[in-house]
Amino acid sequence: MAARTAMGSAQTRSDVESRIEQRKMRSAFAIFLFSMSVPYFMMINVRYIMSGGFIPPALDQTTGAIQTVLLVISLLTAVAAVRRVQQGDGRGYKRMTDVTLFLGGVGTLMQGYELWYHPLNPMSHYGETFLATVGLSVVMGLVGLLVLAAGRERVKRIGVTPERQLGYELSSWYWVFTVITWVALYVELYLL
Amino acid sequence: MSVARIGDAPLPLRKKQIMPPVIRGLLWAGIGFLVVNCLVAYLLDPQYGDPFITQPSVVFGWIAATAGWLLGIGGLENVLLPSFGITVTYPEATGWRRYFAYSTNHKVIGIQYLVSSTGGFFIAGLAAMLMRIQLMGDHMWFFPYAGQYIETVGIHGTIMMFSVGTVALVGGLGNYLIPMMIGSNSSAFPRMSALSVWLVPAGIMTVILSPLLGEWTTGWRGYEPLAQNDPNGILFYYLGVLALTLSSLMVSLNLTTTILFKRAKGLTWNRLPMYAWGILAVSLLNIIWLPEIEITFILAVLDRVVPLPFFTAVGSPITYLELFWLFGHPEVYIIVVPAFAIWMEIMPVMARKPLFAREWGIIGLIFVMMLSGFVWAHHMFTNMRLTEMLPFSFFTEMISIPTGFAYMVVIGTLWRSRFRMTVPSLFVLMSMFNFLIGGMTGVFLADPVINLQLHDTFFVVAHFHFTIIGGMVFTWLAAMYYWLPKFSGRMYNSKMGVLGAIWVFIGFDGAFSLMFIQGLRGMNRWVPVYPPYLQGINIVISIFAFILGLGFLFNLIHIAWAMKSGKKVQENPWQSKTLEWQTTSPPAEESFAAAPVVTGSFYDYEDDDESFSIPTTPGPVSM
Ligand code: HEM
Ligand SMILES: [Cu+2]
């Protein structure tokens, strides 16, 4: 780093500060996600403690698969939104986030549907973990959607500037996190 | 407010007035609760006989109330609306009012945390006094029903553990001191801590109001399926502790990032102050274990409102115990690790000698942190086979080794030093003495043979009070006296300080050392009645306990008095080298006018070199 300064690249104080600020935000976000993954580890554990590898035959893999596919597409659009905002393209970010919100909203709604109309006995060991785990995913999904909606409103109102860019990125990455955790849960709850 | 007269120049736009934030928060919390509670109880999920409060309605109502409280206190204008890109002007409170408002100044937040913790401490202390009154007789006499006594024990333990033990030294002193100690003017996420602090009073209130929903008899551990026997008070235990742990989790995220990224230039890892190391270790524990216990509590709430059978008799009754203690033992180190760090912060200053074996102090903190995840089952020996006990017994006894490092560091520092016996050093020595007793009896308890005899007796009660009051509360007092000149620019009265220290020491050691004997003689926990042969010792313990309670009150009054009208004192009365003392006392709005640069060790008291320098003009930046 010192060498770089010596080479005379025009590095102002605020430049360095904003770089530190970026590193700070990214690391804090990583720590936050680490903390937020603890509940998922727990719920996966609880399932194997409670009911081993049992999967009820009545479970509807297809609905689960459809919502998983929808959510995975919304993951891709969220990543695309990140790319847009990195190029300073606020309108593109908003468009991509609209798609993410739509697909993510439908996917989350379908999860909610499975909470209400499930073919499981909630008093069974598999049933209780299924409901609690899907419930966790729905709650985290709703938070993610709220964060995305906030980002969308923000970009509409105040646009993208270099300082604000990271905030948009991180709201999309949070959505990516919720989708990845859901995919893990889908595999765990429906397949393994 | 002035009135515009004709002919005046146009007045600047009148500043938008809002209600005092706390009042607005309370109002919105009340409205939120009523609306959502009625919505759930009457429309979404009506139950037979249309009761006003149902289990689901009170849970959702509580969530709405907490959200209303946080938004009303200033979260709406400062957090929620800006995240949607809407900027509104929010009049910044000034003077004493800022302590009752949303504030992003880490020093204000620190004080807010400290005041909330102190409030929790005295509320829970009052509960303890009521327990001791009951225990002065061997039959039910003060409380009409046994459940009321046990509920009082539960409220006492819950508020002490989650609003004092985990909060005072982390959210309180941590928020105030850590940014200053690492040479920064703010924490990494000021808005996060500005909100999280208000979860503490919300959590305390929730736990206090729990009797409104009925009795709960599980104590501070919220045991399931035991709680299934009771009415619904336990719901407010789970929700209240949820709020308190969320607050601590947010503090930990903030302080970890602060320590990682806000350090002054030259403040390398091997110069990082011990207290910052302590807070880092604790934060890591919080970041892993608080989400764990939060999910456990949410599952327990779901067991009631859905209902699901996770922890009920048809579920898996032992699972709650496992999940609770998996967090529960790290929790006790969450409480005591910052205290170790404060010993190592205060003692070199008082000894005028470099901190002895500093690396070993840090290694000790880190190993305690890691081992604390491997010992939880020593709380459940009565439910286990001997073969399962042994590894836990082993690790529990092992953990006393890295704990011992903290002692070694302090004693090595004091050895042949120019030690100054001040009120803070007196409190630290008392704390070390008491924690030694607490830790050693813990090693006894970790031995299965002894544990099976002593589990759930007052021996255990004495053990953990020696570790928590002895280790943490005495250190908290040490820290309050030590940093009092920093907070206020004033000094305590040393005679009163010494009196306060001796007073609480006598009250504490008198009451709790007798509890060891009483436990060995067969006094059980969680029961308000006992065989008559134990009455004498119980009366003596109660008297010591009242002395102790008054002693804490005395120290509180003394500290409050000294902050307001103690003798004015120079900026750095202890001649400490750590950065927080290199600012004015009390510190200005911005602690450091220019960013300091660290050039040496903070604990090097052999010479009188400065440990830092303040550049007069910002030089060229290099990283
Ligand atoms: C060398 C260190 C320690 C050892 C070996 C140790 C060991 C133990 C053991 C074996 C028990 C279980 C007793 C029983 O219920 O049968 C216990 C209980 C307890 N310990 Fe420790 N302990 C240590 C340090 C601490 C510290 C530092 C704290 C708090 C700051 C603490 C707080 C507690 C609490 C709160 C309980 C009782 C929990 C309950 O049943 O409600 N201990 N300890
Ligand atoms: Cu333990």
Q: Domain for residue B9, yes or no?
A: no
Q: Do A35 and B249 touch (CB under 8 A)?
A: yes
Cis amide linkage into residue B309, ω under 30° from 0: no
Same-domain status, B84 and B109: no
What angle separates helix B233-261 from helix A13-51, to the nearest 10 degrees?
Answer: 140
Q: Could you give the CA distance from residue B347 to residue B87 in angstroms, rounded to a whole number?
A: 48
- Residue pointed to by tokens 């409380």: B143
Question: How many C-alpha atoms does A118 have within 13 Å on its Cβ side?
Answer: 22
Q: What pLDDT, on the 0 to 100 scale, is given for residue B4?
A: 43
The minimum CA-CA distance between A191 and chain B, rounded to whole Å, is: 22
CA-based R_g, chain B, Å: 25
Give the predicted TM-score (pTM) of the model: 0.91
Q: What pLDDT, on the 0 to 100 scale, is given for residue A70?
A: 92
Same-domain status, B43 and B150: no
Q: What pLDDT, on the 0 to 100 scale, is given for residue A54?
A: 82
The minimum CA-CA distance between B51 and chain A, rounded to whole Å, is: 24
Closest ligand 1 atom, residue B336 Cα: 30
Cβ partners under 8 Å of residue B391, min gap 6: B374
Q: Do B315 and A50 touch (CB under 8 A)?
A: yes
Same-domain status, B187 and B47: no
Q: What pLDDT, on the 0 to 100 scale, is given for residue B611?
A: 63
Q: Could you give the CA distance from residue A112 to residue B609 in angstroms, rounded to a whole number?
A: 65
Bridge partners, residue B88, by sequence: none
> Do the beta carbons of residue B20 and residue B100 sit within 8 Å?
yes
> Do the beta carbons of residue B336 and residue B468 sit within 8 Å?
yes
Q: Domain for residue B594, yes or no?
A: no
Across A160-174, average pLDDT: 86
Amino acid at B10: P
Is the minimum distance from the CB of B156 to ligand 1 under 6 angstroms? no
Q: Domain for residue B513, yes or no?
A: yes
Q: Could you give the CA distance from residue A158 to residue B5 in angstroms, rounded to a whole number?
A: 38
Whose CA is closest to B559, among B491, B462, B507? B491
Bridge partners, residue B490, by sequence: B568
Q: What pLDDT, on the 0 to 100 scale, is given for residue B608?
A: 59
- Indicate if the alpha-carbon torsion angle B377, B383, B389, B393 is positive or negative: positive
Q: What pLDDT, on the 0 to 100 scale, is given for residue B7?
A: 45
Same-domain status, B386 and B475: yes
Cα–ligand 2 centroid distance for B446 (angstroms): 9
CATH of the domain at B187: 1.20.210.10
Low-confidence ranges of chain B (pLDDT < 70): 1-18, 315, 607-623
Q: Do A136 and B295 touch (CB under 8 A)?
A: yes
Picking from B84, B302, B306, the nearest residue to A154 by CB comes out as: B84
A111 pLDDT tier (thresholds 50, 70, 90): confident
Picking from A13, A43, A125, the nearest residue to B621 by CB comes out as: A13
String of DSSP letters for B419-474: ----HHHHHHHHHHHHHHHHHHHHHHHTSHHHHHHHTTBHHHHHHHHIIIIIIIIH
Q: Domain for residue B131, yes or no?
A: yes
Give me the number of domains chain B comprises. 2
Q: Do B253 and A31 touch (CB under 8 A)?
A: yes
Q: How do strand B567-568 and strand B597-598 relate by DSSP bridges?
A: unpaired
> Do the beta carbons of residue B549 and residue B510 sit within 8 Å?
no
The minimum CA-CA distance between B42 and chain A, rounded to whole Å, is: 20
Across A107-132, average pLDDT: 85
Same-domain status, B84 and B113: no
**Domain endpoint, select from B39, B59, B89:** B89
CATH 1.20.120.80 given to domain A37-191: yes
Q: What pLDDT, on the 0 to 100 scale, is given for residue B512?
A: 96
* Alpha helices per DSSP H over A52-89: 61-86
Which residues in B423-440 are b (16+ Cβ under 10 Å) and which e?
bbbbbbbbbbebbbbbbe
Residues in chain B with CB shorter than 8 Å from the CB of A125 are: 315-316
Q: Could you give the CA distance from residue B266 to residue B602 in angstroms, rounded to a whole number?
A: 12
Q: What is the ipTM of this complex?
A: 0.88
Residues in chain B with CB shorter than 8 Å from the CB of A45 are: none
Q: Domain for residue B7, yes or no?
A: no
Same-domain status, B446 and B499: yes
Residues in chain A with CB shorter than 8 Å from the CB of B622 are: 1-2, 5
Question: How many C-alpha atoms does B539 have within 13 Å on its Cβ side?
Answer: 6
Cα–ligand 2 centroid distance for B159 (angstroms): 19
Cis amide linkage into residue B424, ω under 30° from 0: no
Structural domain boundaries, residue B463: 103-582
Give the model confidence (pLDDT) of A18-61 as tens digits.
888 888 888 889 999 999 999 999 888 888 888 887 888 778 78
Query: What residues does each domain of chain A span?
Result: 37-191
Q: Domain for residue B161, yes or no?
A: yes
> Do the beta carbons of residue B524 and residue B457 sit within 8 Å?
yes
Whose CA is closest to B412, among B365, B343, B462? B343
Q: What pLDDT, on the 0 to 100 scale, is given for residue B623?
A: 28
Question: How many C-alpha atoms does A147 have within 13 Å on its Cβ side?
Answer: 19
Q: How far apart are the first and last CA of chain B?
A: 51
- Residue pointed to by tokens 């709960």: B216
Bridge partners, residue B612, by sequence: B598
Is the minimum distance from the CB of B225 to ligand 1 under 6 angstroms? no
